[in-house]
Structure 1
């Protein structure tokens, strides 16, 4: 279609130029004209459609995994702490134990059980090259539940990740496979549903597969942010510009916005909506137009798990962690490896150096094509932008090392997203500390992967106490890590900057229950205990009459549901809980059935 449109345009241009292009017209002039015409022809599809390329996923192949209409609590690509949401969260009417069904023919290929993440999760592999995932389940269908239980007892571990042989549990589209729940890292009853490429294991956007979810509402846009591309993202505070809706389009209050940056980049604060539901969702796509020419954009149709933490490079992390809004960047930082960005006729950088008003347009879309348009103009003010001084610059895509007599750490090339001005200070120690408090930069700057941190104590540590030394990070929350000791240094791994110190943890974990020893539990359905520790739980183990007994875990509550592993009679239960410093707490409990 676009080719015929382009040929019509070519005819019109040639017609208008017929007085200029004659028999004696130079060949070079004609070639120059033709190059411009064909360049416009190749750009025309982008100008006409104004969207980034999408994927041709099968429509209608997968059914709704529930028997109620799909209402979303969260969508694919939604912004979450340290990750993009990898599927859709389907509401279950604030209930648990709704039947969950296979979305298409296939076989159960994997089962996961954990107190974090997806909790009880089921994977079904389909013959068309996709795998569906169902998370936060309470239980699997009876035959599968029994199989998983056997594997857990064989391994003496409730937490498990099982690969299932292809022919063991075949399913048909619509077969009952599980009961919905609230397990793992879930904050309320729902089903987390994903569609992945089977071979790549890359999560894909389920909303592109033709599910019947009514949505005619375009995204809401709240503000844009303007960045100086000649500076590091972390050496500046963006220029925030609110927008308002006028005659169906978003515009800025000031028609032409003065900008100090000669080379500018943009961020956007926007959410998607669906009908009258109060939920806000992640946007799917943004296309940036520079003087009415599509420059670049991003599109969230698939994100690999190993790349999900790059969300901290896709957003303005510093602004978000400082209490500001989510700002999604329309340019890619040097250390950002996400492939969601699509360069069309540019790379997201706007050249304002000519000092003239510069019209900009943004098309903000959801997965169903509902679109909001944002229009404004930028103009370089001519004011020089201040360049901050820095005594210790660290760079993205470079190995960065810091060391002195008190501390050493080393970061791989992939640790930073943009260059940073690294700050270090030694702060006074606290009475319970075994080191000075060391300020290693600010937690407002993200780190992509773990770095090894070595700290030297400032007072003697006995050999018996060495294994109980933990390293504590403070700043935007607290992290505590167990350490190893090597030639006078205590070593741990962290993934955030902050203030660090060494501390001794000699307190064993606590195990509590309202039940008293010797109680008769003949009519009880389960045993429930709370476990807690000041540095964090590393592991737990339960033994009934000397044999391993399976307790599930939700947060810091462990539960055993009575079954054939606890017959009638008198019993002794021993619980052992270990923390990250190696301290062990035990509780012995007697009861009868």
Structure 2
């Protein structure tokens, strides 16, 4: 039960040594700390770990499996006070932040419910603000003792299935690897290390990503002499699950000398998307393969590297370069692999000319550097990459394929900051436009909403590629979830809501013109009013109105009379 007093005692050992976490590079991380209890009272099996690749960032916590269902009690891992309750349709969904005596914070996400005290405060807050989304702290402090139930596991937000996302953050709100505590998480499986990737680098410092050579473990490959970037396929799996997780530590030796090394003890939200510069981005973008670079790109700001190479690796003609890779997981399991590259004399350097975007005219290219603003204009279209957008030297490009279609490149390079593209409104029509990004097969890979100013459209994106302008003229689809009426036997109201293009931006509901709370779940395409809120008249017939708006401002509405049980 939550403590009602403002005085609580925290075991001092729980967070001792927090400031040294980023320096901890030992081969075995697990159980180097004590003092926390597990956040779940069931056998601990991970579907995701700290530092694995996720979307455009490193995963900053542990994902605990909950046996394919919701509703397990989630426990406070140590004494603490609630400093943040966040509710949103996506992301972490229902999340709770518990601050501990030394300033460290534990985070519990994708909950189905909070404790009774938090739920009561939250409902009042949502009705007072007329908003489903909340990001606030209770005015009256709420305390939990280690082992108290802070909520129940769920599948809220952008969760791909029932589980608990758990984080530990230091006093500066930097995530730290929870596997350093002695949680009962077992792992006897060593990391899986695959092929070595050899990426040629030309005399201008550009990667030739169309000429990558892949080397199997134990093999020797003949490669043109010259500078190269090296990467390796590496991932991990833990006992009890087949889910692909991330590695903890990687060390590379070149001809017997340490070339590079890194370990993921702590991360930093402000630069976490630089995962794209640590990964070999084309492999992650196309197939979600975890391919790790040995040397970080120049614009990579991640503070995870113990050894950074001073310069690119040179493959010398007539010589064999030996590469030894050691890879650890947090439990100390290790895999070691070797590869060799024989340098072949190359009479003519292979110069990188590919733009990595559709070869259409008119087209312009320009050399882009990480520390320089980059601009291109073609036929009334212009694109701007702000300073520090690129992680390395690239050939930026803009191709115009028509009034409504363009390609921004190189599509196989990551960006630290989004580009902005500006063009004239097609046929003088400036309303309801979106830019649809298409993949190599021509299918939709993402949508950006266009902004209108005078006769110009603009959109921004962190992903380069082919974009096609589409006018979104169809409002969201809204209808009762199960029948002609949204009313359920228990008095709940449930609507189906979705949008085919720009996406639903917000929903709202009213009973007799009074705002009521609808819990919105985009992945299930549902919005629900809970009868337990008691904002209706039992046995009475009332007018229900439900409104959904999409990202370009189009609105749909359902209205009708319902009789509540």
TM-score normalized by structure 2? 0.86
Counterpart of 1:80? 54
Shift of 1:108: 1.1
- Secondary structure at the aligned position of 2:493 is classed as strand
Residue deviations 1:457-512 (CA, integer Å, cap 9, x gap): 34232xxxx33333333336343333333342112222222233433322222201
CA distance in structure 2 between the aligned counterparts of 1:209 and 1:450, rounded to whole angstroms = 37
* 1:529 aligned onto 2:495: yes
* 1:286 aligned onto 2:260: no
Counterpart of 2:8? none
Q: Of the candidates 535, 555, 559, which is equivalent to residue 584 of structure 1?
A: 555
- Secondary structure at the aligned position of 1:448 is classed as coil
* TM alignment of 1:32-431, pairs within 5 A: 59-165=33-139, 168-198=141-171, 200-230=172-202, 231-233=205-207, 235-243=209-217, 252=218, 254=219, 256-275=220-239, 277-323=241-287, 325-343=289-307, 346-347=309-310, 349-353=312-316, 355-383=318-346, 384-389=348-353, 391-428=365-402
Conserved in 1, the CA contact under 8 Å of 2:126 and 2:134? yes
Conserved in 2, the CA contact under 8 Å of 1:91 and 1:191? yes
What are the ranges of 5 or more consecutive residues in structure 1 without an aligned counterpart?
A: 1-49, 244-251, 429-434
Shift of 1:526: 2.1
Shift of 1:402: 1.2
Counterpart of 1:573? 544
CA distance in structure 2 between the aligned counterparts of 1:519 and 1:225, rounded to whole angstroms = 55
Residue deviations 1:44-101 (CA, integer Å, cap 9, x gap): xxxxxx9669999971221101111211111111111211111000111112101111
* Structure 1 vs Structure 2 CA RMSD: 2.5
Conserved in 2, the CA contact under 8 Å of 1:525 and 1:561? yes
Q: Of the candidates 432, 438, 441, which is equivalent to residue 468 of structure 1?
A: 432
Shift of 1:525: 4.8
Residue deviations 1:541-580 (CA, integer Å, cap 9, x gap): 1111111111111122111111211231111111111112
Larger Rg: 1
CA distance in structure 1 between the aligned counterparts of 2:27 and 2:447, rounded to whole angstroms = 45
Counterpart of 1:559? 528
CA distance in structure 1 between the aligned counterparts of 2:251 and 2:271, rounded to whole angstroms = 22
Shift of 1:416: 1.2
- Secondary structure at the aligned position of 1:319 is classed as helix
CA distance in structure 1 between the aligned counterparts of 2:487 and 2:450, rounded to whole angstroms = 43
Counterpart of 1:450? 418
Shift of 1:419: 2.2
Higher mean C-alpha displacement, 308-317 vs 375-384: 375-384
What are the ranges of 5 or more consecutive residues in structure 2 without an aligned counterpart?
A: 1-23, 355-364
CA distance in structure 2 between the aligned counterparts of 1:56 and 1:347, rounded to whole angstroms = 31
Higher mean C-alpha displacement, 375-384 vs 540-549: 375-384
CA distance in structure 2 between the aligned counterparts of 1:311 and 1:348, rounded to whole angstroms = 20
Q: 1:406 to 1:164 in 2, by over 3 A?
A: same
* TM alignment of 1:502-541, pairs within 5 A: 502-514=469-481, 521=488, 523-534=489-500, 535-541=502-508
CA distance in structure 2 between the aligned counterparts of 1:565 and 1:265, rounded to whole angstroms = 63
Residue deviations 1:519-547 (CA, integer Å, cap 9, x gap): 875x3252211112232112111111111
Residue deviations 1:401-451 (CA, integer Å, cap 9, x gap): 1123421121112211222223333224xxxxxx33122225333222222
TM-score normalized by structure 1? 0.82
CA distance in structure 2 between the aligned counterparts of 1:81 and 1:419, rounded to whole angstroms = 23
CA distance in structure 2 between the aligned counterparts of 1:149 and 1:338, rounded to whole angstroms = 40
CA distance in structure 1 between the aligned counterparts of 2:293 and 2:384, rounded to whole angstroms = 28
Conserved in 2, the CA contact under 8 Å of 1:52 and 1:287? no
Conserved in 2, the CA contact under 8 Å of 1:70 and 1:90? yes
Conserved in 2, the CA contact under 8 Å of 1:266 and 1:348? no
Conserved in 2, the CA contact under 8 Å of 1:265 and 1:348? no
- Secondary structure at the aligned position of 1:146 is classed as helix
CA distance in structure 2 between the aligned counterparts of 1:340 and 1:520, rounded to whole angstroms = 53
